[in-house]
Amino acid sequence: MRSIYHPVLLSIDFSSYHRGFFVRWEANEVIDITHSQMPMPIASDDVPLVLRALDVLQDPAYPHPWTSAQETAFTFTPAEQDRLRELNFWDDDEHVPPDLPRRVGRRLFRALTHDPRGAEALKMVRNFALAVDRPLLIACHFNAHATADVALASLPWELLWADEPTPLLTERRLSATIERRLKHTGPPPQPTPGSGALRILALSPQAGIPPELRQLERSVRMNALQPLLERQLAEVRELSPVSRRELERVVREWAPDVIHYYGHGRYERGEGALLLDCEHGGEEWTPPSALAAAAGGVRMVLLHACQGAMTTPGAPLLSSVAPALSVA
């Protein structure tokens, strides 16, 4: 039976230089430390455009807008279309191709395995995980303070796609996960010793979430946590509606270990945001700086929101919600 608690760990560390990236591969159980090189899979200047093209495919209405907002989002300028066409990311019918995730994923895989040393390292670790019937955890390490590294981290590594019918993470025989880990300067934070049951604060904003969907999300969440609750290893508190001031108050008074957010997110004009409720009705987009201030000291934040970890080259890394919360 496959173990879900003892994965084969493959650490891939990226460091940019003027011609691309140095890559350090490490999997103590399988291979010695291996060094390779790789080119930038997609030019830094093209990353925002490619991410936007991938983003529109997530809308079930594409390419036929239902609203004016969708029409704006679905429209690419002639220059943008030309650039996507040069990248082979634009169809002859003048739309983003439906198989763009595969095209991007294969470009990422080809870049990562461009150097035979990297290709062999990945092959050996993958085959080992299959042989011992254990999941594969690929931890990608990026420099949080280098522009090229941030652009590389922005790419959808979850789409890594070899010459197979499906991406690496969805291969039938292999259970695999990819994590992004940001390298920061300064000492790492000290671990906080546990004290009693895990306190989980579920944030359930009413903004933009129909009651039926909220009830379904609540049911699924509580069902997943039930084993912990029955063994008194966790206690759950739900906050709804969720205003910024009320969030700050509950975090200050109850000191949760984990925050679980299910709601809307966005990334526009170089900054991410989560949609919260206003104190006296209505809704507001809340920027990362305010969220980090409210959630400071919380040990883990689970985000179920669109574009929660998105960033773009040239924008500060902490303008994205997930990185800002990770260092709060």
Residue 288: is the preceding peptide bond cis (ω within 30°)?
no
Q: In terms of Cα–Cα distance, which of 165, 154, 171, 48 is closest to 108?
A: 154
CA distance linking residue 132 with residue 208, whole number of Å: 45
Query: Are 73 and 79 spatial neighbours (Cβ–Cβ below 8 Å)?
Result: no
Question: Over 90: is that where the pLDDT of 96 sits?
Answer: yes
Q: 248 near 216, Cβ under 8 Å?
A: no
Question: In the prediction, which pLDDT does 305 show?
Answer: 77
pLDDT > 90? residue 105: yes
Q: Is the pLDDT of residue 325 over 70?
A: no
Per-residue pLDDT band at 1 (split at 50, 70, 90): very low
Per-residue pLDDT of 106-138, as tens digits, reads: 999 999 999 999 999 999 999 999 999 999 999
* H-only helix segments in the chain: 47-56, 68-74, 78-86, 100-112, 116-131, 147-154, 211-230, 244-254, 288-295, 321-326
**Confidence category of residue 302, pLDDT binned at 50, 70, 90:** confident
- The pLDDT value recorded for residue 3 is 42
